[in-house]
């Protein structure tokens, strides 16, 4: 309909055209909502659910997109107003309509590309991603991936047809009724306001918001981002030296060679280094006598996986179940199963055998008597997704970044993937939606199966389900292989709700609620272990229990998890229990050495007799090395070596008054700060260099070469 000067007033004419613009936005949002639902409801290209709660994510996505629609209408409104005031109402309407349509169509096209990229690799489309990871080989793979997409072969390409269809619909179906101008405009603005309240105030969530970001938000962030160049060589050199010094002290039983030219974090045993040298993968200047036979067993280092022991060589008699690979086959014969349990927000201050106080977790105390427990264990990063990555990759998180999302296409080591290469069946069982925080992108690479159902989100239900599955379906699934099964709980998540089955032992204040939900999770875990104790395979199973992070309840004046890295926030239990020979001398021991999530992978590899070569940053907790730990949460850093734990903020590294130093052997709760020493300044410089160096390695995809992780992602 041609806009003329027939309306009663200029204001009515302007308002009628505003109504027309918002009719465009309304129609775009209707199609966008359908496309969002189609994206969220489809499985990822490998057949796994993209999200666990489609309705929750879709509702949130529509809220975010309603805000974007209002933003996309603003340029057209400005043009309409300027030209209209100059008397050009017809021109103003056509120009504003064209501008708004172009923006809406661009948003749809960009959104489709971004959504499909999120389905395939778990990250958003950006210039940084294109520059860092784009290459002709990957582009050449696109047709094959589209043709084999479990979410619908070639459906990605068909969706592109919605863009011209939307354009035709918008341009042809545009009546403007000046008698009804307020209806769509006011209603849409109300929807956008409601969307803002929903996503920013009532139900905000950084991880969900990140996954669902619309194109306007992505482009704005891209414009604000300045690619960080590699730090000066001396920073990288100090970061590498800090790690090498810690690794050597923590793993004296596994002398290592650092000589992979493009991946400085990689450490190899001498035998593996000889293999890599023969393959031309190490620095040509590497000095290593691969033809020596130090132990006199008749096998040179190039063939002998441990040239310091004469009873270990390719022809040696293998002793099963002792955690030693005597015949150099790559793994101990008859290796133990591993059941790893990660308890949500399970802080060490509530665990009696660690804190010395009345326990909120008595079943975990009982389990600790069957193995070794770490009194000074901390989470290497926060929140859950940072500890998730640290537990499975054995790598320190970088400052001001989340590995799972910021480096979603990086090549990283992982404990479950390594165990799969050595013949293990791997399964991830979760009480929380594993699509949260982009976990599913990594889980589908690492585990054979991911087991989640929204009907089992309370811990008692999840642990009962796992116990039943292990008793009735494990044998068929594993087919005679040892297993690595992970269980992650949920009920003890902030704000610690009193769900059915959680006992009420006090007031409704946070400390009482957390005590009760921690006890609930602990009891549910204990019931599962009791159920499994009679299974024939249980005697040959390692049970490892830790928490993802703690939670402050007012200690040191903090009530939010991101306010500090004190023990109440980062301190979590770490118990390794079982009848393994390497654990016998440590039974019921609560060690006083620093430890962290980074130690889980090296400890498991040691107990299973697997070569520790790779990019792991922790140490084996059963080998007697020097303990150390680092925690990085954005600018909050902690370093713990020996008895001293040092806390500081990255912006105040030179301000001694802002440091906090504690003797954790005599002041485990960190109540009595000590005067800093000159050595503390060096420790701060070390962790600063390490955090910066790690960021560069992640960003440049130089953590570990594909040759050490067993194939392409």
User: How many domains would you assign to the chain?
Assistant: 2
Q: Are residues 173 and 244 in the same domain?
A: no
137: confidence class by pLDDT, cuts 50, 70, 90:
very low
> Both 538 and 649 in a single domain?
yes
Render pLDDT for 595-623 as a digit per residue (tens, 0 to 9): 999 999 999 999 999 999 999 999 999 99
Residue 581: CATH number of its domain: 3.40.720.10
- Domain membership flag for residue 207: yes
Give per-residue pLDDT as tens, 540-585: 999 999 999 999 988 988 887 778 899 999 999 999 999 999 999 8
Backbone conformation region of residue 508, classed left if phi is above 0, alpha if psi is from -120 to 50, else beta: alpha
Are 201 and 159 in a shared domain?
A: yes
Q: Are residue 149 and residue 248 in the same domain, yes or no? A: no
pLDDT, position 124: 78
Would residue 271 count as lying in a domain? no
- At residue 223, the pLDDT reads 64
Q: What is the pLDDT of residue 507?
A: 86
Pair 128, 184 in one domain: yes
In a domain, residue 291? The reply is: no
First to last CA, the chain: 54
DSSP 229: P
Q: Flag whether pLDDT at 16 surpasses 70.
A: yes
Please report which confidence band the pLDDT of residue 446 belongs to, taking 50, 70 and 90 as the band edges.
Answer: very high
Residues 161 and 248 in one domain: no
**Would you list the DSSP string of 313-353?**
STTSPP-TTSS--TT-SSS-SSPPEEEEEEETT--GGG-HH
8 A C-beta contact, residue 20 and residue 7? no
Would residue 86 count as lying in a domain?
yes
8 A C-beta contact, residue 409 and residue 713: yes
At 2 the pLDDT is: 41
Q: Report whether pLDDT(316) > 90.
A: yes
**Containing structural domain, residue 337:** 239-257+317-708
Measured in whole angstroms, the distance separating CA 231 from the mean position of its chain's CA atoms is: 25
Residues 374 and 472 placed together within one structural domain of the fold: yes
Strands (DSSP E) contained in 282-424 are 337-343, 371-378
Residues 335, 198 share a domain: no
For residue 298, is pLDDT > 90? yes
Alpha helices in 86-232 (DSSP H): 89-121, 127-133, 136-140, 142-147, 155-159, 162-172, 181-196, 206-212, 215-224
Of 169, 199, 224, the position where a domain reaches its end is 224
- Classify residue 280: in a domain, yes or no: no
Identify the domain boundary among 200, 224, 248. Answer: 224
Q: Is 175 exposed, middle or buried (0-12, 13-18, 19+ CB in 10 A)?
A: exposed
* Cis? peptide before 383, omega within 30° of 0: yes
In degrees and rounded to multiples of 5, residue 279 shows phi and psi of: -85, 0
Nearest to 578 by CA among 315, 250, 337: 337
pLDDT score, position 127: 58
Q: What is the pLDDT of residue 97?
A: 82
Q: Is residue 172 part of a domain?
A: yes
Instruction: Report d(CA 19, CA 176) in Å as an integer.
Output: 7
Give the model confidence (pLDDT) of 70-105 as tens digits. Answer: 888 888 888 878 877 676 667 777 888 888 888 888
> Does residue 104 sit in the same domain as residue 170?
yes
In a domain, 252, yes or no: yes
In a domain, 628, yes or no: yes
Question: Do residues 46 and 173 share a domain?
Answer: yes
Residues 153 and 245 in one domain: no
pLDDT of residue 87: 63
Query: pLDDT band at 134, cuts 50/70/90?
Result: low
Cα(369)–Cα(371) distance, integer angstroms:
6
> Which residues have C-beta within 8 Å of that of residue 627, sequence separation ≥ 6?
250, 376, 591, 593, 594, 595, 619, 641
State the pTM of this model.
Answer: 0.83
Residues 172 and 248 in one domain: no
Cα Rg of the chain (Å, integer)? 29
The percentage of the chain sitting over the pLDDT mark of 90, rounded to a whole number, equals 50
pLDDT, position 205: 64
């Amino acid at each position: 309909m041609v806009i003329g000067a027939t309306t009663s007033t200029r204001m009515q004419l302007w308002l009628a055209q505003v109504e027309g613009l918002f009719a465009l936005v309304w129609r775009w949002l209707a199609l966008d909502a359908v496309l969002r639902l189609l994206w969220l409801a489809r499985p990822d290209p490998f057949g796994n659910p993209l999200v666990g709660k489609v309705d929750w994510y879709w509702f949130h996505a529509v809220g975010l997109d309603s805000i974007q629609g209002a933003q996309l209408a603003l340029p057209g409104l400005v043009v309409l107003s300027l030209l209209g005031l100059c008397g050009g109402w017809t021109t103003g309407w056509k120009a504003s309509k064209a501008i708004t349509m172009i923006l809406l169509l661009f948003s749809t096209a960009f959104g489709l590309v971004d959504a499909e990229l999120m389905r395939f690799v778990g990250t958003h489309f950006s210039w940084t991603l294109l520059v860092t990871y784009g290459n002709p080989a990957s582009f050449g793979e696109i047709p094959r991936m589209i043709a084999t997409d479990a979410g619908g072969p070639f459906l990605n390409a068909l969706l592109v047809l919605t863009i011209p269809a939307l354009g035709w619909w918008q341009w042809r179906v545009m009546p403007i009724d000046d008698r009804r101008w307020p209806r769509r405009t006011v209603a849409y603005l109300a929807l956008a306001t409601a969307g803002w309240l929903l996503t920013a105030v009532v139900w905000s969530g950084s991880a969900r918001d990140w996954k669902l970001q619309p194109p306007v938000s992505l482009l704005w962030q891209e414009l604000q981002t300045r690619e960080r160049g590699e730090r000066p060589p001396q920073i990288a050199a100090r970061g590498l030296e800090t790690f090498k010094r810690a690794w050597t002290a923590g793993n004296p039983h596994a002398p290592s060679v650092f000589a992979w030219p493009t991946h400085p974090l990689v450490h190899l045993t001498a035998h593996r280094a000889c293999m890599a040298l023969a393959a031309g993968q190490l620095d040509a200047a590497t000095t290593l006598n691969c033809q020596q036979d130090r132990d006199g067993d008749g096998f040179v280092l190039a063939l002998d996986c441990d040239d310091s022991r004469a009873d270990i060589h390719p022809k040696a008699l293998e002793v099963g179940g002792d955690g030693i690979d005597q015949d150099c086959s790559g793994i101990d014969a008859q290796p133990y199963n591993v059941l790893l349990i990660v308890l949500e927000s399970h802080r060490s201050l509530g665990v009696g055998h660690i804190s010395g106080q009345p326990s909120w977790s008595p079943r975990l105390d009982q389990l600790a008597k069957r193995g070794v427990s770490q009194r000074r264990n901390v989470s290497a990063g926060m929140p859950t997704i940072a500890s998730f990555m640290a537990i499975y990759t054995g790598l320190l998180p970088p400052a001001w970044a989340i590995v799972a999302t910021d480096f979603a296409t990086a090549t990283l080591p992982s404990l479950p993937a390594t165990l799969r290469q050595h013949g293990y069946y791997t399964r991830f069982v979760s009480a929380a939606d594993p699509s949260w925080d982009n976990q599913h992108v990594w889980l589908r690479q690492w585990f054979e199966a991911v087991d989640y159902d929204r009907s089992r989100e309370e811990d008692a239900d999840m642990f009962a389900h796992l116990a039943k599955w292990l008793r009735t379906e494990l044998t068929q699934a594993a087919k005679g292989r040892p297993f690595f099964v992970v269980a992650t709980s949920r009920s003890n998540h902030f704000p610690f709700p009193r769900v059915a089955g959680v006992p009420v032992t006090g007031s409704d204040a946070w400390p009482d609620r957390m005590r009760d939900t921690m006890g609930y999770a602990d009891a549910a875990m204990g019931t599962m272990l009791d159920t499994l104790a009679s299974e024939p395979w249980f005697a040959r199973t390692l049970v490892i229990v830790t928490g993802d992070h703690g939670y402050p309840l007012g200690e040191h004046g903090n009530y939010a998890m991101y306010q500090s890295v004190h023990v109440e926030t980062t301190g979590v239990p770490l118990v390794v229990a079982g009848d393994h020979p390497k654990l016998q001398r440590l039974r019921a021991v609560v060690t006083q050495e620093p430890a962290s999530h980074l130690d889980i992978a090296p400890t498991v590899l040691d107990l299973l007799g697997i070569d520790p070569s790779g990019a792991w940053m922790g140490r084996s907790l059963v080998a007697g090395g020097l303990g150390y730990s680092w925690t990085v949460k954005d600018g909050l850093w902690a370093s713990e070596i020996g008895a001293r734990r040092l806390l500081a903020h990255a912006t105040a590294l030179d301000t001694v008054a802002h440091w906090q130093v504690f003797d954790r052997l005599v002041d485990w709760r960190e109540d009595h700060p000590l005067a800093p020493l000159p050595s503390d300044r060096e420790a701060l410089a070390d962790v600063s260099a390490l955090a910066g160096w790690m960021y560069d390695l992640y960003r440049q995809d130089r953590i570990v070469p594909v040759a050490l992780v067993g194939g392409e992602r």
